[in-house]
Amino acid sequence: MKYSKLVKGIKKPVRTISGVTPLTVVLKPRKCNHGGCIYCPGGSKVPQSYTDQSPAIMRAMKLDFDPHKQVKARLKVLEIMGHPTDKIELIFIGGTFLQYSEKYQKDFVKACFDALNLRKSRTFEQAKKINETSKHRCVAFCIENRPDNCSDKEIQNLLDFGVTRVEIGVQNPNDKIYKKINRGHKVEDVVLATRRLKNAGFKLGYHIMPGLPGSNLRKDLKMFKKIFKDEKFKPDQLKIYPCQIVQGSVLSKIYKKIGYKPYNDKQISWLIQKVMQIIPRYCRVMRIMREIPKEKMVFEPIKLDLRKEVEIGLRNSRKKINEIRMREIGFNRENLNLDLEMKIFEYAASNGKEFFLEIVNKDNILFGLLRLRILCSPCSQIDSSQLALPNCSHKKQLIKKNFINNSKKFRANCNQRGNLAIVRELHVYGQALEIGKHEKGISQHSGFGKKLMKKAEEISKKEGVSKIKVISGIGVRDYYKKLGYVLDEEGIYVEKEIN
């Protein structure tokens, strides 16, 4: 497939290089339900996992954590800095969003939409509706959450709010380590949350913390390998925040007693360099290192720009890297080869079948991607804790084939056709362009999205699915309408019959 005439190079700032403009809003401080993880700074005047010296937190404090004021203020700054503000990714940080009261959650989201819409709405639904065509559209929406706050009801709330991406704190999926760090949940919660969130169509990110008490470099590398080998995990994105000792944390009081020492720059560089080489092509490493001010650290902090050094080293050594960010067009502007093709990578994950579609050039540089999940509902509900639901239509088959006690074997041999297709992400890379604008040489708005969607529909049809659903940011619904999609009955997904 030839796309050469659609693109050339791009040269614009990094903030919007992935196509949308992120806008961070901070939740008011509150104590975590389970108390606290031992590495958490645990402040009371700021969100528990942050310090009062992080720039985003300081800005939010000045505005008394008021969501409307925060969005308004950020829009103003982004505009002054020359960033496009018509396609916004709302990002809530500061705590486990779903542990706040439902009223707080809803009011908070509405206030953000009202600020984007430049007017106050009477109801939450009205605010969402207005945003579909407003000046500042919410095209993506991310919240941070704990794996044990992902019940069906909680996930439904996220869908109602228009959330498209969820980041869960996984740290190190190991029950012994969870106990040591007082994490307050089990690996099984991570497995269930991963499956439920993917089945609902969310893009899923894991926060991973190498260097926790009870781990070491060898074990951490093994942990990363497991995350991408074991189909129970396989996240779409990672944030890698090595464990550091922050003042005020429980760890700062006990580290001497337990003989704990965090990794140094050299150790982290070694680990990240190894990890980047095993990250599969469907995963993006969003961030490495948390910005915690030096003054708040007990040990010398790890260099914040460590990722840059590691990536330069990897590029110079010509190692083959499949990780998304390193392959994005926005970070590879020199000598771009424009001979493009669409590649499809299929993999099993969380009891479903994932198709990762990407438009790449001969050098593996990424111009656009789509995540399609095919699942048959009964299979998708089978997991290690619940092998077959009482009403599962596959139950007889499971028993007959003697697969009832081996869900893995069952999935491998299951020849049932899928009955649900859901597009979890459609992303065309390159500098963010204003909605409706076409600029020569830029890959957004060049028809890549349409081509990827068409291919997703073809695959779904082949998989025996008659309807395809898309989890769409509220502000992108209009785009899908042009491709023949309509809002579903519940007003959550956009969908299309593909028979």
Q: Which residues bind ligand SF4 (CB under 6 A)?
A: 32, 36-37, 40, 48-49, 95, 146, 169
CB of 38 to ligand SF4, least distance (A): 9
CB-wise, 39 or 355, nearer to ligand SF4?
Answer: 39
CB of 96 to ligand SF4, least distance (A): 6
> CA 339, CA 367: separation in Å to the nearest integer?
11
Give the 3-state secondary structure of residue 408: helix
CB of 46 to ligand SF4, least distance (A): 11
CB of 41 to ligand SF4, least distance (A): 8
CB-wise, 32 or 73, nearer to ligand SF4?
Answer: 32
> CA 146, CA 144: separation in Å to the nearest integer?
7
CB of 441 to ligand SF4, least distance (A): 42
> CA 291, CA 302: separation in Å to the nearest integer?
10
CB of 107 to ligand SF4, least distance (A): 21
End-to-end Cα, the chain, rounded Å: 25
CB-wise, 32 or 392, nearer to ligand SF4?
Answer: 32
DSSP state letter for 391: T
The burial class, CB within 10 Å (0-12 / 13-18 / 19+), for 104 is: middle
CB-wise, 40 or 212, nearer to ligand SF4?
Answer: 40
* Residue type (1 letter), 41: P
Helix (H) or strand (E) holding 299: none
> CA 499, CA 496: separation in Å to the nearest integer?
9
CB-wise, 95 or 352, nearer to ligand SF4?
Answer: 95
Location of structure tokens 């700074």: 41
CB-wise, 37 or 111, nearer to ligand SF4?
Answer: 37
> CA 262, CA 316: separation in Å to the nearest integer?
29
| Token pair belonging to 410 | 């069952």
Q: Among 354, 349, 350, 345, which residue's Cα sits nearest to residue 372?
A: 354
What's the gap between Cα 54 and its chain centre? Answer: 22
Q: Among 405, 406, 408, 376, which residue's Cα sits nearest to residue 393?
A: 376
Over its C-alpha atoms, the chain yields an Rg (Å, rounded) of 22
Count the Cβ atoms, other than its own, within 10 Å of residue 400.
10
The H helix count followed by the E strand count for the chain is 17, 14
CB of 26 to ligand SF4, least distance (A): 13
CB-wise, 88 or 243, nearer to ligand SF4?
Answer: 243
What's the gap between Cα 192 and its chain centre? Answer: 16
CB of 169 to ligand SF4, least distance (A): 6
> CA 367, CA 430: separation in Å to the nearest integer?
7
Helix (H) or strand (E) holding 26: strand 21-26
Half-sphere exposure of 381 (CA within 13 A, CB side): 12
CB-wise, 200 or 251, nearer to ligand SF4?
Answer: 251
CB of 95 to ligand SF4, least distance (A): 6
CB of 249 to ligand SF4, least distance (A): 9
CB-wise, 48 or 117, nearer to ligand SF4?
Answer: 48
CB-wise, 7 or 292, nearer to ligand SF4?
Answer: 292
